[in-house]
Amino acid sequence: MRDQKGASSTRLWVATRKGAFLFESDSARKSWQQKGPYYLGHIAHHVLQDPRDPRIVLIAARTGHLGPTMFRSTNGGRTFKEVSRPPAFATRDDGSGRTVSHTFWLMPAHRNEPGVWYAGTSPQGLFRSDDAGDSWSEASTIHDDPDYRRWFGTAQDGTPNGPMLHSILIDPRDPKHLYIGMSGGGVHESWDRGRTFKPLLDGLEVVGGFDPSDPSFHDPHCIQMCPTNPDRLYQQNHCGIYRMDRSEGRWHRIGKKMPKRVGDIGFPIVLSPHNDQTAWVFPMDGSDVWPRVSPNGQPAVYCTVDGGRRWIRQDAGLPTGQAWWTVKRQAMSADTHAKVGIYFGTTSGELWGSRDGGAKWSLIARHLPEIYAVEAFVQ
């Protein structure tokens, strides 16, 4: 959508515990117009607009009392309709079948595969749609692989919202080359469109006393692939911040350079659309019982511009104290403008944005429900 001068607008699709919202900016990204809520009362886990076909927008949703589903727009978000067949595991009569609690992560496939999408679910499953999200089927043999079934764990091993398959990454040079993250269960790589996977854990730490060679003990929170260098991955993990250059095949804990009083625990990680050295994280208090709030109630984004050798605190405009919220793994996003906009939504329902790569923050909206995901889309 372009204004009368031909400048682009930025959209923020916001998924919350009580529905989805859309915020649309002017070309300067100074003022924002709110639309929604869409499907008020539904738990919206993720909302994404297809960069290959902006007419398509998917909302992964459920309610506390009904089964999971997905809603789809084919007109850029003006109207939505429930999809024909949401992700579901195969029916088994022997009691071994699993049940999708909710779709957690949405990802359009390769640019040369229009209409193809992937979805990650809780409990962990990888699903694929070949019709722009209208119908879904199981995409991977890992669903029935004995090792993966063990690594998936159970409700006792997963997050408070269940075990999740997330961070579905597609190599822009090869549609068959994918990565996924499993919480818990580790980072995994596929060379056959997700049919099979292998763990990619070398260099990752686990909680003390456990075997780092066992994927069960790994908990990647969010993995991202550099848009300008698909061979470079960054990861916010339960045990720190990491970077991997795929040719080396080993994760390096770049979070050790974070200030000790803040630490390197958190959920989201966001990468620059313009270089492979710049990343943003949102640290949280991961001490003792994991309060999952900003350290000392003082929220801040941390940014590196040199691949993790140094981290810069970015808190100008953010509350200076008594702010007891944090940011979930899908609730932070970058736009693609030359001067990168960074956005995050909080567990207390505030939507924050920066038009200058995190140097200064301003509040876009408050009093929203708990925010689960924020996705920027420039059109």
Q: Which residues bind other proteins (CB under 8 A)?
A: 63-67, 69, 82, 84, 86, 88-92, 97-100
What is the smallest separation between the CB atom of 36 and other proteins, expressed in angstroms? 17
The nearer residue to other proteins, 89 or 324, going by C-beta atoms, is: 89
Q: Which is nearer to other proteins, 140 or 190 (CB)?
A: 140
Q: Which is nearer to other proteins, 135 or 141 (CB)?
A: 135
Taking the complex as a whole, the smallest distance from the CB of residue 64 to other proteins amounts, in Å, to 5
Report the amino acid identity of residue 200. L
Q: How far is CA 67 from CA 19, 133, 160, in A?
A: 15, 18, 18
- Tokens representing 64 are 């506390």
Q: To the nearest whole angstrom, how small is the minimum distance from the Cβ of residue 73 to other proteins?
A: 16
Least CB distance from residue 139 to other proteins, whole Å?
A: 15
Question: Which is closer to other proteins, CB of 240 or CB of 369?
Answer: 369
Instruction: Give me the least distance between CB of 194 and other proteins, in Å please.
Output: 20
CB of 134 to other proteins, least distance (A): 12
- The CB-of-135 to other proteins minimum distance in angstroms stands at 12
Taking the least distance from each CB to other proteins, the nearer of 86 and 199 is 86
Residue 215: φ, ψ to 5°: -55, -25
| Residue nearer to other proteins on the CB measure, 86 or 266 | 86
| Least CB distance to other proteins at residue 67 (A) | 5
Q: Which is nearer to other proteins, 77 or 86 (CB)?
A: 86
Q: What is the 3-state secondary structure (H, E, C) of the chain?
A: CECCCCCECEEEEEEECCEEEEEEECCCCCCEEEEEEECCCCEEEEEEECCCCCCCEEEEEECCCCCCEEEEECCCCCCCEECCECCCCCCCCCCCCCCCCEEEEEEECCCCCCCCEEEEEECCEEEEECCCCCECEECCHHHHCHHHHHHHCCCCCCECCECEEEEEEECCCCCCCEEEEEECCEEEEECCCCCCCEECCCCCCCCCCCCCCCHHHCCEEEEEEECCEEEEEEEEECCEEEEEECCCCEEEEHHHHCCCCCCCCEEEEEECCCCCCCEEEEECCCCCCCCCCCHHHCCCEEEECCCCCCCEEECCCCCCCCCCCCCCCECEEECCCCCCCEEEECCCCCEEEECCCCCCCEEEECCCCCEEEEEEEEC
Q: Considering the complex, what minimum distance in angstroms separates the CB of residue 82 from other proteins?
A: 5
Torsions phi, psi for 255 (to 5 deg): -70, -10
82 or 202, CB closer to other proteins? 82
Closest CB to other proteins among residues 6, 64? 64
